[in-house]
Amino acid sequence: MKIKVIYHLLFWLLAYFFWIFIFRNGTLVLTHTITIQFCYLAFISVNYYFNALYTIPKLLNKKHYVKFSILFITGIVVTALIRIPVSMFVVTFIFKVPNPQFDQLAIFRDSFINIMFWVLCILAAKMMIEKIRSQIYIEKIEKDKATNELNFLRAQFNPHFLFNSINSIYGHIDKSNKDARNMLLVFSEMLRYQLYECNVEQIELEREINYIKNYIAIQKGRIDDRIFVSFFDEGINGPIKVAPLLFINFIENAFKYIGFNEDKENRIDICLQYEHGALTFKVFNTKESFINHDERASGLGINNTKRRLEILYPKKHMLTINDTDDSYQLTLILFDL
């Protein structure tokens, strides 16, 4: 708003100097020209804002052409009439012309023509600029629409391709390799959940828990067998809903940095507990203390999840993190669910 006001002030200032130096009357001193053009500036700007803020949006744009024309001409007539006493006052008391002779009809005629001409020019320029901006905006919207439609078509194609590929891979895995076949089925279920069920603002917590269990099952097949992984949920029943994929980044972080130490227990503990309208999520994992901090990731996924929490649960969540050299513990509490 401040920038807009500055632009308007600069425009009228430039217009003022333009009128002073381009339309200066050679028979008048510069101070007289400055005064006369300032009066015109006031009357022209009043008419401009009257039409730009009221008659054009309220009447012309709604096709009330007769009312618009009447109010437009009325505004010019009123300001031209007001300029008659203003001009007489300026000549008599500011310019102090002795025995001035006034032709009120000529003053009105000149004022009416000048004010109407410049108001029309400025309004026409404004409407032309707005039309150009609107055209650019429409073109951008159409381009974005075409891009979104293309992305939608790609989204419709790619999942089918992925699931068909998974089915083909599943068929080529030896039937005796039950672990690989089961892992592929779990992965397919997770993929289907992400693609088809997470396109909502809120999802049932039980479905989110099922996704977490599938993710843990796949990760167990990747990590060392000597790493203990536990998942515990309590009080999860009834119509409890949360934002989809809200906890997975925290769990991924635990599996990413679990590491392995020969001389101590290595574990990942995940817990979800619902009580009195509050959902508590905890994740704990041991770490390799000798890992250089510079080698660790930037934490972009964690930061994105924190931002989601700020947007989705403003003043309705509490997140605490305890990060030490050999362990990482995160606690998230969602209130009023």
User: Where in the chain are the domains?
Assistant: 2-144, 219-334
Determine the average pLDDT of the residues in 185-194.
89
Determine the average pLDDT of the residues in 265-270.
93
Residue 295 has pLDDT above 70, yes or no: no
Residue 229 has pLDDT above 90, yes or no: yes
Say if domain 219-334 classifies as CATH 3.10.20.340.
no
Residue 236 has pLDDT above 80, yes or no: yes
Residue 242 has pLDDT above 60, yes or no: yes
Please report which confidence band the pLDDT of residue 177 belongs to, taking 50, 70 and 90 as the band edges: confident
- Give the model's pLDDT for residue 49: 94
Determine the average pLDDT of the residues in 38-47.
89
Nearest CA among 9, 37, 41, 7 for reference residue 24: 37
Determine the average pLDDT of the residues in 296-317.
80
Residue 32 has pLDDT above 70, yes or no: no
Higher pLDDT, 20 or 245: 245
Residue 51 has pLDDT above 90, yes or no: yes
| Bridge partner list, 322 | 329
CA 119 to CA 107: how far, in whole Å?
Answer: 18
Read off the DSSP letter of residue 274.
Answer: E
Alpha helix positions (H), the chain: 2-22, 30-50, 65-89, 104-172, 178-192, 205-220, 248-256, 300-312
**Out of 119-128, 163-172, 247-256, which region has the weakest mean confidence (pLDDT)?**
163-172
Question: Which pLDDT tens digit goes with each residue over 63-111?
Answer: 999 999 999 999 999 999 999 999 888 888 887 878 888 899 998 998 9
Determine the average pLDDT of the residues in 223-241.
87
| Bridge partner list, 280 | 273, 333
What is the bridge-based pairing of β-strands 278-286 and 327-334? Answer: antiparallel
Determine the average pLDDT of the residues in 187-206.
88
Residue 156 has pLDDT above 70, yes or no: no
Cα-trace Rg, the chain: 37
281 in Cβ contact with 247 (< 8 Å)? yes
Determine the average pLDDT of the residues in 155-172.
74
| Bridge partner list, 118 | none
- Produce one character per residue of 162-193: b if its CB has 16 or more CB atoms within 10 Å, e if not: eeeebeeeeeeeeeeeeeebebbebbbebeeb
Determine the average pLDDT of the residues in 230-254.
90
Task: Return the half-sphere exposure (C-beta side, CA atoms, 13 A cut-off) of residue 58.
Answer: 12
Question: Which pLDDT tens digit goes with each residue over 274-286?
Answer: 998 899 999 999 9
- Give the model's pLDDT for residue 332: 96
CA 297 to CA 76: how far, in whole Å?
Answer: 68
